[in-house]
Amino acid sequence: MSAPRIVAIDGPAGSGKSTVARLTAEALGLEVLDTGAMYRVVTLAALEQGVPLDDAAALGALAARSSIGLGPAGAVVLDGRDVRAEIRGPEVTGAVSAVSAHPEVRAVLVEAQRAWMVDHGGGVVEGRDITTVVFPDAPLKVFLTASEEERARRRAGDEAAVGRSADQAAIAADLARRDRLDSGRAAAPLAVADDAHVVDTTGMTIEQVVAAVADLARAAFG
Ligand code: DC
């Protein structure tokens, strides 16, 4: 039996992971899983239900009892409600690194991510610990990155596209803050796996990045 067709992608905020993962999945005929959206949903639930962001046990229990659905067309569902807009808002973005730092939360979501892969039999998965912890045996592991300036410029474009304020200096400061927290935490920090292909997307178009990752995947899948 051939190994499952898994493309694992990690990288810092603003590296283009979500778009690249979605388009690469389309190119390969696979489904995509945005694990950052899962951490964002738990963070939204915590903010709405008043669960303290430093209460690891309560946050783990909250993750376990929340019903999180990720639809193929970008739907993100929390307990039956579409929250795809709310999870990208500044409140959730400001709190998600604190919530995702708790091993109790990660254990619940990592189990759900592995169950998703069993159900789908393959897929493109992106996040911070996908190549190192969730699917360390994936046939293709990619670390996507870009210069800080380019990442801030892209995020500013995303924000402007949905009508939110897009001050590039403030966005750059927030990206740097999240990178520091996501890379410096004890539990499953953002790191480059030994055998990951590092793709620096600075100056590349999305189409070029997708073509490069899809080629790597075809070569890895054999
Ligand atoms: O990719 P994103 O910006 O939507 O991710 C939101 C946050 O979730 C990010 O700051 C760190 C956390 N995260 C994580 O800890 N592990 C993952 N696999 C994905 C995201």
Task: Work out which ligand 1 atom sits closest to the CA atom of 126.
Answer: 18
**Residue 3 has what pLDDT?**
79
| CB-ligand 1 contact for 40 (6 Å cutoff) | yes
Q: Give Dmax (Cα) for the chain.
A: 51
Mean pLDDT of 24-32: 97
How far does the centroid of ligand 1 lie from the alpha carbon of residue 56, in Å?
17
Average pLDDT, the chain: 95
Residue 13 vs residue 209, higher pLDDT: 209
pLDDT digits (tens, 9 = 90+) for 47-80: 999 999 999 999 999 999 999 999 877 899 999 9
The domain ranges of the chain are 5-213
Is the predicted pLDDT of residue 165 greater than 90, yes or no? Answer: no
How far does the centroid of ligand 1 lie from the alpha carbon of residue 75, in Å?
17
Domain 5-213 CATH class label: alpha beta
How far does the centroid of ligand 1 lie from the alpha carbon of residue 96, in Å?
7
How far does the centroid of ligand 1 lie from the alpha carbon of residue 181, in Å?
11
pLDDT digits (tens, 9 = 90+) for 189-213: 999 999 999 999 999 999 999 999 9
Q: Tell me what percent of the residues of the chain surpass a pLDDT of 90.
A: 87
| CB-ligand 1 contact for 96 (6 Å cutoff) | yes
**Pair 85, 161: CB distance under 8 Å:** no
| CB-ligand 1 contact for 135 (6 Å cutoff) | no
What's the CA gap between 101 and 115, in Å, rounded?
21
Is the predicted pLDDT of residue 28 greater than 70, yes or no? Answer: yes
What's the CA gap between 125 and 9, in Å, rounded?
6
How far does the centroid of ligand 1 lie from the alpha carbon of residue 50, in Å?
21
Q: Which residue owns the Cα nearest ligand 1 atom 9?
A: 97
Q: Which residues contact 61 (CB under 8 A, 6 or more apart)?
A: none
Closest by CA to 12, choosing from 187, 200, 170, 161, is 200
**Residue 68 has what pLDDT?**
96
pLDDT digits (tens, 9 = 90+) for 125-140: 999 999 999 999 999 9
| CB-ligand 1 contact for 189 (6 Å cutoff) | no
**Residue 1 has what pLDDT?**
55
Task: Work out which ligand 1 atom sits closest to the CA atom of 18.
Answer: 1
